[in-house]
A and B are shown apart, each in its own frame.
Chain A
Amino acid sequence: MLKEKRAADIEKVLAKYPPERKRSAIMPLLYLAQEEYGYCSDEAMREVAEIIGCDPTEVKSIVGFYTMFYEHPVGKYVIDVCDDLPCALRGADKFVSHCEKKLGIRAGQTTPDGKFTLHTVMCIAACDRAPVAQVNREYRYDLTEEEFDRMVDALSQG
């Protein structure tokens, strides 16, 4: 149960908002749930709803609206590569094609061993360092195909 496992974190999150405005905590709590369960499972959403005191359907609508909440299980490493215009002007499309080839999957898919999920994403505010990606929300700047291969090989070992 999230409530037991992350009690201290939940308390910290709730303290940020007025007590009668608990609903503001819905997104931070979903991040906690996602850290625990890997994605926003039905169970995770029910738990968040219970903490907030709202209907699980309302939590589900939030999960559906925001792209960073996953409705389905994802790989251990989620790789988000930007292929928006500024990055694409610096070779992002070709770079994504390389990522797909290296991982043996298409963007939007997860490797069969459950290690990697590859997403293409809209602008992530680092256009001067393209091609740019985030691995589990941590930036990787100025990527080359060789660097990507090395990164994937290293993460595969771990």
Chain B
Amino acid sequence: MAKYYGTRNKTMDRHVLLRDIDVPDIREYDVYVANGGYEAWKKALTSMKPDEVIGVVKDSGLRGRGGAGFPAGVKWSFIPKDVFPKYVVVNGDESEAGTFKDHQIIDGNPHQLIEGVALCAYAVQAKTNYIYLRGEFYEPARTLQRAIDEAYAHGMLGKNVLGSGFDIDIHIHLGAGAYICGEETALLSSLEGQLGQPRLRPPFPAVQGLYAKPTVINNVETLANVPPIVLNGAQWYRQYGTEKSPGTKIFCVSGRVNRPGNYELPLGQYTIRELIEMAGGTIDGRPVKGVLPAGSSAPILPASALDTRLDYESVQAAGSILGSASFVILDDTVDIVWAARKMVRFFKHESCGKCTPCREGTHWALKLYDKLLSGRGTPEDVNMIGEVAGQMANKCFCLLGEFATSPMLSTLKHFRSEYEAFIARHRDGVMNGYTDELIREGVIAGPDGIVARH
């Protein structure tokens, strides 16, 4: 048995998703079943029509947990009834910096994901289904495969499940290190054995997805919500969260806090400040400088936004996006220019190269940040960063390119004075502690006079 990943932060009497916190061995088939597991699956197969499953998920108001927040039931209802085969593809590419919730679901509560996939497959009548996991999830994939094998062995997957006449197969497909594959059309290309590059939409995957057939793509966390919804009903689910953001959500907290980890909470009930308190507060109690609500791709929020409520609408109103709810906390010890460069470096590395604004823009933006960090920056360079980001915004083929502008534009918006102070402090090649990183990345020469090449 592969080792377990996850922090056991108890935030609710009974968790909806991170049930491994309440029932430590729930990753085992018998334990899952003893705790109500596969009851929703049995209920659907024996007493519900596929459309009824779509109906209850629609009524629950469950929104996609991968980032976009699109209502899951509505997405399922777009699948045409008369085209076969169709597919359910699970997005388990979890690669946004600061996101580690799907990791814990897969490792800690894999059967709930499998049951969710099965319910979705039944709802849209897909027989063959794929769970796409990032290549680095080699270990979690083993746990999940073991759970899938158990589900087959107990007749929950395979041919004619529970005598219903419904056949279902679930396969795991491993990626190989490409953030872009979290973009749903790039994920499909990757699954088809092509370069992981996004495709033009429309046609949307619901019409022409995997192998040009109707396809539902949902995030791991989204589908893990489905079994309790089908079992307990939409009204039960709506006891959590707000009217527009129902249910619970896993918040990944990382960065400068004492107890980083996953925290499952009803949407809209708490504020960012309270989330940070739950995570043990900041290290040494330092003041918060900024918060990234959805990893590198969300605009940074300054400390003045700490009382923002944790739901899709409130975070958007505050000027950012809730997205995957990966909260990276920055305190006053963090250099904003350095942090922005880390994020720009991420996007430069992960740009798939398909479209010019993103490929070239991230390349030149990183060069400008390299210049700042190596103590050669000028105020014109700061303006140029804003210009490069401005040239990229709204001109990229997919959202990755748009995301790449976030760390630049949002830090310039809220922390421009820090850029100016940084330049003043790092004049004439003074680097203040960044030397090792810059040598390693080939920005400056090492003591041997050699510039590293990658």
* Chain A positions near chain B (C-beta within 8 angstroms): 16, 18, 21, 23-28, 30-31, 52, 61-62, 65-69, 80, 83-86, 88-90, 93-94, 96-97, 100, 106-108, 120-130, 134, 137-139, 141
Contact of A85 (CB < 8 Å), options: B5, B134, B179, B342: B342
Among A31, A61, A89, point to the contact of B174 (Cβ < 8 A): A31
How many residues belonging to B are interface residues under a CB distance threshold of 8 Å?
65
Closest approach, in angstroms, between the C-beta of A48 and any C-beta of chain B?
10
**Given known A65-B178, A137-B138, contact A86–B97 (CB-CB < 8 A):** yes
Complex CA–CA separation, A14 to B219 (angstroms): 25
Give complex CA distance A84, B136 in Å.
15
B322 on the A face (CB < 8 A): no
With contact pairs A67-B176, A89-B328, A90-B255 given, residues A26 and B193 touching in the complex (Cβ less than 8 Å): yes
State which residues 157-192 of B face A: CB under 8 Å.
Answer: 171, 173-179, 190-192
Assembly CA distance A27 to B189 (angstroms): 12
In angstroms, Cα B178 to Cα A66, docked, is: 6
Inter-chain contact A25/B252, CB cutoff 8 Å: no
Choose one: A18, A27, A127; the contact of B260 (CB below 8 Å). A127
Q: Are A67 and B178 in contact (CB under 8 A)?
A: yes
The answer on a CB contact under 8 Å between B173 and A28 is yes
Question: Please, which residues of chain B bring their CB within 8 A of the CB of A139?
Answer: 3, 5, 139
Chain B residues positioned under 8 Å from A97 (CB to CB): 436, 440
Can you list 30 A-B contacts with CB-CB less than 8 angstroms, sorted by A residue number?
A18-B128, A23-B193, A62-B194, A65-B195, A66-B175, A83-B437, A84-B346, A85-B255, A85-B296, A85-B328, A85-B343, A86-B255, A88-B342, A89-B254, A106-B440, A122-B95, A122-B349, A124-B136, A125-B94, A125-B95, A125-B100, A125-B102, A126-B100, A127-B98, A127-B252, A127-B255, A128-B100, A130-B260, A137-B135, A138-B139
Q: Which of these, A89, A90, A107, A122, contacts B350 with CB under 8 Å?
A: A122
Alpha-carbon distance A30/B95, docked complex (angstroms): 21
Q: In the complex the two chains form, is B136's CB within 8 Å of A93's CB?
A: no
Name the residue in B97, B102, B296 with the highest tally of chain A Cβ atoms < 10 Å from its Cβ: B97
Contact assessment for B190 and A122 in the assembled complex, using a CB-CB cutoff below 8 Å: no
- B352: chain A residues within 8 A (beta carbon): 65
Instruction: Kindly state whether residue B201 has any CB partner on chain A within 8 Å.
Output: no
Cα–Cα distance between A122 and B97 once the two chains are bound (Å): 8
B430 within 8 A of A: no
**Contact between B256 and A23 (Cβ–Cβ < 8 Å)?**
no
Q: Which of A16, A67, A125, A127 contacts B137 (CB 8 A)?
A: A125
How many contacts A-B (CB < 8 Å)? 160
Bound together, the chains give a CA A62 to CA B190 distance in angstroms of: 9
Output the residue of B95, B178, B255, B262 with the most chain A CB within 10 A. B255
Closest 10 A/B residue pairs (Cβ): A67-B177, A66-B176, A23-B193, A127-B254, A128-B260, A68-B177, A137-B138, A26-B193, A123-B97, A68-B176
Select one of A24, A96, A127, A130 contacting B191, CB under 8 A.
A24
Residues of A within 8 A of B175 (CB): 27, 66
Interface residue? B96 (CB, 8 A): yes
Kindly provide the distance from the CB of A69 to the nearest chain B CB, expressed in whole angstroms: 6
Complex interface: chain B residues within 8 A of A106 (CB):
439-440, 446, 452
Q: Please tell me if B325 contacts chain A, counting CB pairs below 8 Å.
A: no
The answer to whether residues A127 and B97 also contact, given A85-B296, A138-B139 and a CB cut-off of 8 A, is: yes
Taking a contact as CB atoms under 8 Å apart, the answer to whether A28 and B98 are in contact is no
Closest Cβ of chain A: how far from B64's Cβ, in Å? 18
- Asked if B330 and A89 sit within 8 Å, CB to CB, the answer is yes
Point out the residues of chain B lying under 8 angstroms from A67, CB to CB. 176-178
Shortest distance between the CB of B440 and any CB in chain A (Å): 5
User: B309 within 8 Å of A by Cβ?
Assistant: no
Q: A134 contacts B136, CB within 8 Å?
A: yes
Q: A52 touching B193 by the CB < 8 A rule?
A: yes
Q: Which residues of A contact B247 (CB under 8 A)?
A: none
